[in-house]
């Protein structure tokens, strides 16, 4: 499990200018890692290169994270945690179990999830397919992502009013298609709102009969 980021601690020398004004050292490491991992590839980035990009000494980086995998794990967790929190809240709030209520909940979840994926500066979710992510040190990430996927399935089942395992997988994958869209198209901040709405509506519409 990755070391949790903490605030800047005194006595740790800095090698350069901070990347993020007002942010703590852990946040600067994560931001530098997100940029380098997504633009150069996880395997190509050395810890020395990462420390230089973060404007810190290599020894300082190990004060916050034990290794590169722990940094990547923390980045990946951030791509699912907020949406999973909402999914849990929505499922706990189910009252009548109606298709109408489930439809609204599924749309809300898909919209927030898509917005987060669209708004992430470095498109960190594109790192899901990184070979190292199959390592057991990423177990927590896989568990949380599986729980989020299951939440989509459960809400979808209530919308559909039936159990169709293949069809019920589609909303989750429609939302995650945002990752590919961002990798292949130029999307400006002005595009995010309408594209987010389109993705959320697509995730719901595929289950309507």
> Tens digits of per-residue pLDDT, 69-93?
999 999 999 999 999 999 999 999 9
What pLDDT digit, counting tens, does each position of 118-152 carry?
A: 999 999 999 999 999 999 999 999 999 999 999 99
Query: What is d(CA 199, CA 118) in angstroms, rounded to the nearest whole number?
Result: 11
The conformation of residue 2, written as its DSSP 8-state character, comes to: P
Helix (H, G, I), strand (E, B) or coil at 189: helix
Q: What is the mean pLDDT of residues 11-20?
A: 43
The Cα–Cα gap between 111 and 19 comes to: 30
Q: What is the mean pLDDT of the chain?
A: 90
Q: Is the pTM higher than 0.85?
A: yes
Q: What is the DSSP letter of 142?
A: H
Q: What is the pLDDT of residue 209?
A: 66
pLDDT in tens, 182-209: 999 999 999 999 999 999 999 999 998 6
Q: What fold characterizes domain 1-66?
A: Arc Repressor Mutant, subunit A (1.10.10)
pLDDT number for residue 208: 84
pLDDT number for residue 130: 97
H-type alpha helices, 17-138:
25-40, 47-54, 58-64, 68-92, 99-119
pLDDT of residue 3: 37
Q: Is the pLDDT of residue 67 over 80?
A: yes
- pLDDT at residue 161 in the model: 93
Closest CA relative to residue 148, chosen from 89, 100, 74, 70: 89
Mapped onto helix, strand or coil, the DSSP state of residue 37 is helix
| % of the chain at pLDDT higher than 90 | 86
* pLDDT of the residue at 18: 52
Question: Which one has a higher pLDDT value, 208 or 168?
Answer: 168
Check whether 22 has a pLDDT greater than 90.
no
Q: Identify the residue whose tokens are 């703590």.
A: 24
Q: Which tokens is 104 given?
A: 């609204």
Q: Where are the domains of the chain?
A: 1-66, 75-205
pLDDT at 16: 47
């Amino acid at each position: 499990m990755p070391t949790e980021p903490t605030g800047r601690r005194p006595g740790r020398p800095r090698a350069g200018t901070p990347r993020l004004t007002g942010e703590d050292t852990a946040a600067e490491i994560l931001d530098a890692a997100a940029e380098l991992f997504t633009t150069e590839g996880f395997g190509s980035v050395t810890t020395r290169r990462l420390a230089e990009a973060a404007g810190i000494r290599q020894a300082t980086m190990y004060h916050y994270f034990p290794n590169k995998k722990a940094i990547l794990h923390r980045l990946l967790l951030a791509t699912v945690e907020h949406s999973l929190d909402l999914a849990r809240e929505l499922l706990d709030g189910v009252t009548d179990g109606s298709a109408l209520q489930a439809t609204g909940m599924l749309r809300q979840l898909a919209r927030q999830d898509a917005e987060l994926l669209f708004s992430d500066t470095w498109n960190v979710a594109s790192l899901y397919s990184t070979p190292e992510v199959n390592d057991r040190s990423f177990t927590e990430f896989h568990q949380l992502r599986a729980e989020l996927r299951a939440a989509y399935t459960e809400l979808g089942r209530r919308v559909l009013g039936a159990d169709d395992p293949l069809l019920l997988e589609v909303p989750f994958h429609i939302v995650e298609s945002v990752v590919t869209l961002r990798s292949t198209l130029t999307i400006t901040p002005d595009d995010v709102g309408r594209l987010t709405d389109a993705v959320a509506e697509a995730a719901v519409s595929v289950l309507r009969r």
